[in-house]
Amino acid sequence: MSTIDISVYVPVIILMVLAVLIYGIALFASSLIAPKNPTELKDTPYECGEEPTGTAWSQFNVRFYVVGLIFIIFDVESVLMFPVASVFKKMHELGHGWYVFVVFVSFISVLLEGIAYCWKKGDLDWVKSYVTENKSA
């Protein structure tokens, strides 16, 4: 058996089911009473009143991807810090405060190094990479 009582997660599942149910019921009710007479013009995606040209699913700038990559690294670091942060006070009360502080700060300083590197190299700049790409294109 598991050491934690997972029945405290029942409301989570119920809320998720409720969200799906409410969404489904509302859409169903709407489909019963709402009018449905599509026309060619009505179904056209909005493009400021002009005829839309081509599909919208086009190539996007790489900088969105860079932001995503940097985010994942920081996300994992913050996830690793959560268990340590939540026992910090307990360890301090046991008299290991400065030890944990040193461990914690050395972990964070490596994280800061990462930010400093990306900052220095311009990966955090939105506009600079834009200029570069315009010229290389």
Partner 1 sequence: MFHKLLFIMSTVLTVASALVVLLNKNIMHACIALLGSLIGIAGLYLTLGADFVAATQLMVYVGGVVILMLFAVMLTGGQDFVSKTQKLFDLTPNMGNATSYSVGIVSAALFGMIIYGLTESSLSSIPKKDIDPNLIEASTLERLGELLLTDHVLAFEISSVLLLGALVGAAIIARPDRSTSSSANTSEEQ
Partner 2 sequence: MNSTIVSYFSTLPFYNHIIGFFNSLFGENGQMVFAFTVYFIAAFIVVNILSAVGGLGTYAERKISADLQARIGPNRVGPYGILQFLADGVKMILKEDIIPRGADKFLFYFAPMLALLGVFATLAVLPFSSGLALTNLNIGVFYLLAVSSLVGIAVFLGGYAANSKWSLLGGMRGASQIISYEIPVTISILAIAVLSGGISFDKLIGAQGGFPHEWFVFHNPFTFVGFFVFFTGALAETNRAPFDLPEAESELVSGYNTEYTGMRFGFFALAEYVEIFVVCGVAAALFLGGYRVPFDLGGDTLIGQFLQIGSFVTKTLLLYYVVIWVRWTLPRLRVDQLMMICWKYLTPIAIFNLVGCAFWLVKFDGRSMFNLIMN
Q: Which does 62 bind (CB under 5 to 8 A by kind): partner 2, partner 1, none?
A: partner 1
Of residues 25 and 80, the one with the C-beta less far from partner 1: 80
CB 63 within 8 A of CB 130: yes
Q: Which of 15, 45, 50, 135 binds partner 1 (CB under 8 A)?
A: 135
Q: Which of 10, 20, 33, 34 binds partner 1 (CB under 8 A)?
A: 10
Q: Which does 120 bind (CB under 5 to 8 A by kind): partner 1, partner 2, none?
A: none
CB of 133 to partner 1, least distance (A): 6
Q: DSSP letters of 12-72?
A: HHHHHHHHHHHHHHHHHHHHHHS-----TTTTSPPSTTSPP-S-S-----HHHHHHHHHHH
